[in-house]
Amino acid sequence: MPDQKPIHILILAGDGIGPEVTSAARRVLDQVAEGADFDLLIEEAPFGGEAIDKVGRPLPPDVLLSAHAADAVLLGAIGGPAWDDVARELRPESGLLRLRKELGVFANLRPVQAATSPRGGGAIDLLIVRELTGGIYFGTPRQYTAEEAFDTLRYSAEEIDRIAHVAFQQARMRSSRVTSVDKANVLASSRLWRERVSALQAEEYPDVELRHMYVDNAAMQIVQDPGSFDVILTGNLFGDILSDLASTLVGSLGLLPSASMGNGTPVFEPVHGSAPDIAGKDQANPVAAIRSLAMLMDQVGQPEAAGQIRRAVDETLNAGVKTVDLDPDGVSTSRFTTSVLQALARIQDTSRIPEPSAEFES
């Protein structure tokens, strides 16, 4: 539409397989936009290790400004052994943590879905709501010496309340069940977490069922009985670990997307890392990046495009087209992406078929 503002997307491909999976997502984005009624403004910028190599820092100031100005950020992956010896404050991971903090994206939504689990059993459908800008990754003081090191796990009541609101609101759109995961029998921060979540549920979300679970038990139950979970609410560290564990339910980290939401520009990224061992080999699974793109389309007001993308991925997987992380005889990244584009074209053609006129109805 000529008078409609283009959707401004900043792509931060990053390191390792990041450029490969974001390239796949970009191909899907271009095709879905071509047949829809919206225009795109795509900007690409260096981030993580790539930015360190180019300008000496993982999050250049101009890239942060671009992120603030964009409607959404699509991120690939960052990090790798090439930057292991860089000073901590200049490592790729520090750039990612700062990006999240500067954008105020405190809620990370990680859906875990599969029609059938490779571990056996029925369908998998749960959502991990991870607090993203607090906890031990951001707590101070912290110190490292050759003789001693320590980190601080810190949460305020405000930080706990705002992420709990997100979890309860997400649960209301699902089956109204929240499992809050902590370690309240050991950690003071978890005791406050449990108290605040319980109080908020009682005061504002009595229609949502709440249960509390220690993180060690939660890890076991996610593997043994994933169907008992709907929304899992947890802190930064526990959410990081449990979402990786949950990938075993669907077969690969390469399948899991995420959305980081909050007060500023949302960030969409695959859950997986940069996988430097397969970078450049055309072996990466692009599904998580493409599904992250679908979540992005929902966020920018294009639910039809989001649905088409999800259908195209599902049809491709259901047809038996898989990458090597799912099947030793699987196809390459580029071949899988081509199959998704072919499925998307069929879906788009079907959506263009006009409804039959009433005069021809029997």
Q: Is 244 a catalytic residue?
A: yes
Cα(342)–Cα(323) distance, integer angstroms: 16
Least-confidence region, from 29-43, 113-127, 183-197: 113-127
Q: Does pLDDT of 126 surpass 60?
A: yes
What does the pLDDT average to over 32-38?
87
List 15, 182, 230, 240, catalytic entry: 240
Q: Does pLDDT of 353 surpass 70?
A: no
Give the Å distances, CA to CA, from 286 to 20, 26, 183, 271. Answer: 8, 11, 34, 11
267 and 231 co-located in one domain: no
Please check whether residue 362 lies inside any domain of the structure. no
DSSP label at residue 348: H
Q: How confident is the model at residue 88 (pLDDT cuts 50, 70, 90)?
A: confident
What does the pLDDT average to over 305-327?
96
Q: How confident is the model at residue 181 (pLDDT cuts 50, 70, 90)?
A: very high
75 and 154 co-located in one domain: no
List 15, 71, 137, 325, catalytic entry: 137
Q: Does pLDDT of 217 surpass 60?
A: yes
250 and 134 co-located in one domain: yes
Question: What is the structure's pLDDT at 122?
Answer: 75
Please check whether residue 311 lies inside any domain of the structure. yes
169 and 272 co-located in one domain: no
Last-in-domain residue among 239, 255, 271: 255
Token pair 């959404």 is found at 72
Cα(179)–Cα(128) distance, integer angstroms: 10
Please check whether residue 49 lies inside any domain of the structure. yes
Convert the pLDDT of each residue in 257-297 to its tens digit.
999 999 999 999 999 999 999 999 999 999 999 999 999 99
What does the pLDDT average to over 17-40?
94
Token pair 């997100």 is found at 166
Q: Does pLDDT of 13 surpass 90?
A: yes
Structure tokens at 67: 């992120």
Give the list of residues 6+ apart from residue 278 with CB closer than 8 angstroms, or none.
17, 284
Last-in-domain residue among 215, 231, 255: 255
185 and 312 co-located in one domain: no
101 and 119 co-located in one domain: no
Question: What is the structure's pLDDT at 195?
Answer: 98
List 151, 244, 282, 314, catalytic entry: 244
122 and 93 co-located in one domain: no
Question: What is the structure's pLDDT at 245?
Answer: 94
What does the pLDDT average to over 153-157?
98
Of 41, 261, 249, which is closest to residue 165 (Cα–Cα)? Answer: 261
Residue type, 277: D
Question: What is the structure's pLDDT at 36?
Answer: 83
Q: Is residue 328 packed enough to be buried (19+ CB in 10 Å), middle (13-18) or exposed (0-12)?
A: exposed
Question: What is the structure's pLDDT at 123?
Answer: 84
List 30, 53, 207, 216, catalytic entry: 216
Q: Does pLDDT of 311 surpass 80?
A: yes
161 and 250 co-located in one domain: yes
- Between residues 358 and 6, which one has the greater pLDDT? 6
Question: What is the structure's pLDDT at 354?
Answer: 58
Q: Is 207 a catalytic residue?
A: no
Q: How many domains does the chain have?
A: 2
Please check whether residue 358 lies inside any domain of the structure. no
Cα(228)–Cα(222) distance, integer angstroms: 8
Residue type, 224: Q
β pairing state of 209-214 and 143-144: unpaired
Please check whether residue 29 lies inside any domain of the structure. yes
List 71, 183, 230, 325, catalytic entry: 183
Question: What is the structure's pLDDT at 1?
Answer: 44
Question: What is the structure's pLDDT at 206?
Answer: 98
Please check whether residue 361 lies inside any domain of the structure. no
Per-position b or e across 81-97, b if 16+ CB within 10 A of its CB:
eebeeeeeeebbebbbb
Return the sign of the alpha-carbon dihedral for residues 212, 214, 217, 218: positive
145 and 121 co-located in one domain: yes
296 and 218 co-located in one domain: no
Please check whether residue 92 lies inside any domain of the structure. yes
Tell me what percent of the residues of the chain surpass a pLDDT of 70.
Answer: 94
Question: What is the structure's pLDDT at 351?
Answer: 74
Q: Does pLDDT of 163 surpass 80?
A: yes
pTM to 2 decimals?
Answer: 0.92
Q: Is 84 a catalytic residue?
A: no
Average pLDDT, the chain: 93
What does the pLDDT average to over 166-190?
98
Q: Does pLDDT of 207 surpass 70?
A: yes
Last-in-domain residue among 230, 255, 280: 255
Please check whether residue 138 lies inside any domain of the structure. yes
18 and 96 co-located in one domain: yes
Q: How confident is the model at residue 355 (pLDDT cuts 50, 70, 90)?
A: low
CB 21, CB 286: distance < 8 Å: yes
The arrangement of strands across the sheet holding 267-268 comes to: 40-44, 7-14, 72-77, 267-268, 259-261, 107-114, 124-131, 231-234, 177-182, 209-214
Range of the domain at 151: 109-255
Question: What is the structure's pLDDT at 227?
Answer: 92
What does the pLDDT average to over 252-256?
93
122 and 94 co-located in one domain: no
Cα(73)–Cα(273) distance, integer angstroms: 17
CATH number assigned to the domain comprising residue 344:
3.40.718.10
